[in-house]
Amino acid sequence: MAEAVKHEQTLPSHPEKATLEGKNKFLGFWFFLGGETVLFASLFGTYLGLRNGVADGPTSQDLFHLDLVFIMTMILLTSSLTSVFAMINMKKGNFKGLIIWMWATVFLGACFLGFEIYEFIVYVDYGLGFTTSAFASSFYTLVGTHGGHVLFGILWISTLLIRYRKAGITLTNAPKFYVASLYWHFIDVVWVFIFTVVYLMGV
């Protein structure tokens, strides 16, 4: 065992890709994100095809307010930065920094989700139910799928943070944190298109 300890003490410059498992996870997760691109494209396309199909319900012009969307965008953008900080700390070997910045990411994600739920409640009160019109259904499906991704990300990252709260950076958990942060960035990438295509083009 003495020999092994000597081995594992060195911190590789890319702990997330230091093992074959880590490399596989990294590549596999990127490919998954490639597939997710098509998934969201299908939802975007459906929304864009149906956004004028408002029937008797409210239109996007009646509903959308830029101030709320702006705040949500800033929150999510900042959460992307905090997860970047977490990864820099991981590569520096600073476990505490990794944990703190990841929790910050989770917190900002939860704020974002809270605003989104609030937004949906306001819209429903205004008369835009899920079944009101094709516009309503496709809007809730697109934005809701994104929100579902945020929720899953929060649960996933929290699980990792609680499970590894005292573990230190290891060859096993570094890839896990790394792909979770990739996932989080991807959520932000999707949101950039949502605020542009859905909200800015819908006001």
Partner 1 sequence: MSNAQAQKSVLWDWLTTVDHKKIGIMYLVAGGFFFALGGLEAILMRIQLMFPNFDFVTAQTFNELLTMHGTTMIFLAAMPLLFGFMNYIVPLQIGARDVAFPFLNSLGFWLFLFGGVLLNLSWFLGGAPDAGWTAYVPLSSEYSGTGIDYYVLGLQISGLGTLIAGINFLVTIINMRAPGMSMMRMPLFTWSSFVASALILFAFPALTVGLLLLMLERLFGATYFAVDVGGNVVIWQHLFWIFGHPEVYILILPAFGIFSEVLSTFSKKRLFGYSAMVFATLIIGFLGFMVWAHHMFTVGIGPVANAIFAVATMAIAVPTGIKIFNWLFTMWGGRIQFTTANLFAIAFIPSFVMGGVTGIMLATSAANYQFHDTYFVVAHFHYVIIGGVVFGLFSGAFYWWPRMFGYKLNETLGKWFFWLFLFGFHLTFFVQHFIGLMGMPRRVASYLPGQGIDELNFVSTMGAFLMSVAFILLVVNVIVSVKNKSEADPWDGRTLEWAIPTPTPEYNFAQTPLVRELDALWYEKTHGNGKIKAAEPLDDIHMPNGSILPIFMSLGLFLASFGLIYQVHPVTIIGLAITLGAMFIRSIKEDHGYHIHKEDIKKEEGVG
Partner 2 sequence: MDPHVTDPSAPLKGKPSKKAERQLAREGKQQIISFVFMIFLTSIAFLTVASDTIPNRFAIPFILIIAAVQVIMQLYYFMHLNERGNGWTNIMLWTGFFVAALTVATLMLLIGVTKY
Best CA proximity match to 85, nearest among 60, 63, 105:
105
Look at residue 7 and give the partner it binds from partner 2, partner 1, none, a contact being a CB closer than 5 to 8 Å depending on partner kind. partner 2
Q: Rounded CA gap, 32 and 10, in Å?
A: 31
Regarding 195 and contact with partner 1 (CB under 8 A), the answer is no
Regarding 193 and contact with partner 2 (CB under 8 A), the answer is yes
Going from the C-alpha of 3 to that of each of 6, 11, 135, the distances in angstroms are 5, 16, 64
Answer yes or no: are the C-beta atoms of 66 and 164 closer than 8 Å: no
DSSP letter string, 50-112? HTT--TTS--HHHH--HHHHHHHHHHHHHHHHHHHHHHHHHHHT-HHHHHHHHHHHHHHHHHH
Regarding 133 and contact with partner 1 (CB under 8 A), the answer is yes
Pick the binder of partner 1 from 11, 14, 46, 100 (CB under 8 A): 46
**164: three-class secondary structure by DSSP:** coil
How many other C-beta atoms lie within 10 A of the C-beta of residue 69? 20
Pick the binder of partner 1 from 43, 63, 113, 154 (CB under 8 A): 43
> Judged by CB, which is closer to partner 2: 66, or 122?
66
Look at residue 156 and give the partner it binds from partner 2, partner 1, none, a contact being a CB closer than 5 to 8 Å depending on partner kind. partner 1
Regarding 168 and contact with partner 2 (CB under 8 A), the answer is yes
Tell me the site size for partner 2, rule CB under 8 A: 65
Pick the binder of partner 2 from 24, 31, 114, 121 (CB under 8 A): 31
Regarding 125 and contact with partner 2 (CB under 8 A), the answer is no
> Judged by CB, which is closer to partner 2: 113, or 190?
190
